[in-house]
Amino acid sequence: MRRTTTRLMAALALLPLAAHAHATDEATQVSFVAPPWPGVTVKTEIMAQILAPLGYANERQELSSTVGYKTLQTGDSDVFLAGWLPAQQDSYDAAMDDGTIVDLGNNVTGARMGFAVPGYVFDAGVTSAEQLDDPENRERFEGRYYSIESGSTVSDFINDAKRNDTYGLGDWELLESSTPGMLSAVRSAYDEKRWVAFYGWTPHWMVPEFDMHILDDPEGIYGENQGRSDVRTIVAKSFSEANPNLMRLLDQFVLTAEQQSDFIREYGLEERELETVAREWLQAHPDELADFLEGVTTRDGEPGLAAVKASL
């Protein structure tokens, strides 16, 4: 699970091996960009519960991703754990071109978006978007496709596909609503085991809740590489240069889409307390915790893993 980046490790190599952190980190607090999305909310809380016993405070700024990139550029925030690409490509490119952010790579493996169906539809043989408009399948779907807000990037994707009659969707009824509205329609169909096709993504609670499967998308309607996405850890460059110990931790903080989907379900769907969800996740994943904290110390230079374990 441990992941390194060439840029980060080259920087760390310049430090004495025995002093990766002690007396080197300038920060006593980490300021997170935290849009009100369940996944990044829980991830940020998990990170906060790791940081506290290491000797670092945290604050969370509930900003949109667009504004968040700007605050990273100005140094008014430090870390963003939800750099979704290519969905945020314009904001990301602007900040990278400005030379004010550092990209530590994916903190979620297996992220993806696209045409989705519940497990019982997938098990019946619908595994590709090319099959949606097959006569028998079209009838069972009632020629309807559910998606999210008009004007969103993914709304543009599916409307372009409809205009171009990609996969025969030109005469399908496209039902766009809020994300909760779409998921309510999917739940109604799922509970009655009716066939339903909808826009899905992972990580999200819809994956375990509906046994959701994303279909093959050979035309790339939802992006290259079958709609696979990156979820990057983005750090203000000035912060990265001043805090090598924190950078090591942030670089090694990597989850699977399945893991994130599970805690999104607990927090976003089951509405359990945020602090409890994060703490129980850390308690249940000692191997991952050890990976996150390999080579990381407290701010005072003591072994980081021991300090965090003691806090749990």
What pLDDT, in 10s, does the model give residues 125-143?
999 999 999 999 999 999 9
DSSP state for residue 42 in the 8-state scheme = H
Q: How far apart are CA 64 and CA 147, in angstroms?
A: 21
**pTM over 0.75, yes/no:** yes
Helices (H) and strands (E) in the chain, counts: 16, 11
Band of the pLDDT at 151, cuts 50, 70, 90?
low
Q: How far apart are CA 78 and CA 242, in angstroms?
A: 11
What pLDDT, in 10s, does the model give residues 13-47?
444 433 444 447 999 999 999 988 899 999 999 99
Look-up of token digits 């090319």: 130
Q: Are 65 and 88 in contact (CB under 8 A)?
A: yes
What pLDDT, in 10s, does the model give residues 156-174?
899 999 999 999 999 999 9
For the cut 50, the answer to whether the pLDDT of residue 272 exceeds it is yes
Mean pLDDT computed over every residue of the chain:
91
How many Å is the Cα radius of gyration of the chain?
Answer: 21
The neighbouring-strand residues paired with 230 are: 85
Q: How far apart are CA 125 and CA 122, in angstroms?
A: 5
